[in-house]
Amino acid sequence: MGGILYITVLLGILLAWAFVLRAHRSIRETTLVSAWLWSMVAVTMWAVIWFADQCLTVISTELADHAWYANAVLSLCPPMAVLGSRRPGTRVWTWFILWPMLLALGWPVITLWLQGSELRGLQLETPQLVTFCLVLLMGVGNYCGTRFTVSALLYGASTLALVVSSSANSAGWLSDRVGIRFWSTVLMLLAVWMIRTSSRPIAATKFDQLWFDFFDTFGIVWGRRIQDRINFIAAKEGLPVRLELDGFAGITAPDRSSVSLSSDAPIANANEVEARVEHILRWLLRRFVDPVWIDHRLGADAVPKDNDLTVDS
């Protein structure tokens, strides 16, 4: 029964790998390609380590310690890559943030390998564990408050359990590293499953749909940044519109077939206001997504007007 269970989990990992692979279609028009690449590397490594350690048991206990810790560190890269997804600094973020992060957090394993002596098990000290937790909090916390909150928490718990079990001061119930790695993998699979099944209610307007998709895709850090900029520009130009986390206030769509300004708005020409809101959104989101990504959410009638895309930044 145990062998069947482990093979079942392996199949689940392969399905997760296929899901991540297919996710490229939904992010290829955004700046999240780097995060997707890191996700592919992480889930591939997870599958290889699981098969070698849990299914075939062909690697030693000491090597398994190193491999699973490396897997946990690598799993930090996808959410951290999202935090550097603003053009034009995506490549700079990878080379000057992600690679140094991998080097710093992977140093406990690197030093053991550089010693050239007999391979020893991994015992993380408290400063190393605290550093890992802080980085994990930054990456996973970015999606707390989005529709992927549960997935982010499961992903964070999965990654954290792998590292805490390797700590020199871990609790007694975490001493069974084989069991912890099994349940960490199950939590990771649950996180992927929740990503596939999570959804929001139908947006009231096309602007709300665009906002929700951006907020859920890029997280609360970039979402709040865009929200603040939109509200600042709207107030500066006297637009009767305000963006909240649950959508735009001041824009309604009674029949959900068209978008119009609410009746109590102080500006008479609702079409001009809506056009200005669209132009502001396009201008601010251009550093994160391609115009076609916005077109898909605003509808076929939404045609970008490059001459009007001017906003004080």
Q: Where are the domains of the chain?
A: 2-197, 206-308
Note whether 160 and 150 are within 8 A (CB).
no
Q: Is the pLDDT of residue 258 over 80?
A: no
d(CA 11, CA 100) in angstroms, rounded, equals 33
Lowest average pLDDT, out of 27-36, 199-208, 215-224, 259-268, goes to 259-268
Q: Compute the CA torsion angle 205, 210, 215, 221 (nearest 10 deg).
A: -110
Q: What does pLDDT average to over the chain?
A: 86
Q: Phi and psi (nearest 5°) for 271?
A: -60, -40
What is the average per-residue pLDDT within 258-287? 74
What is the average per-residue pLDDT within 157-175? 81
CATH class of 2-197: mainly alpha
| Confidence grade of residue 271 (pLDDT, cut at 50, 70, 90) | confident
Write down the pTM of the prediction.
0.88
pLDDT attached to residue 300: 52
Residue 176 to residues 53, 108, 162, 183, Cα–Cα distance (Å)? 14, 21, 11, 11
Q: Is the pLDDT of residue 234 over 80?
A: yes
- The strand pairing partners of 124, in sequence order, are 167
What is the average per-residue pLDDT within 273-290? 95
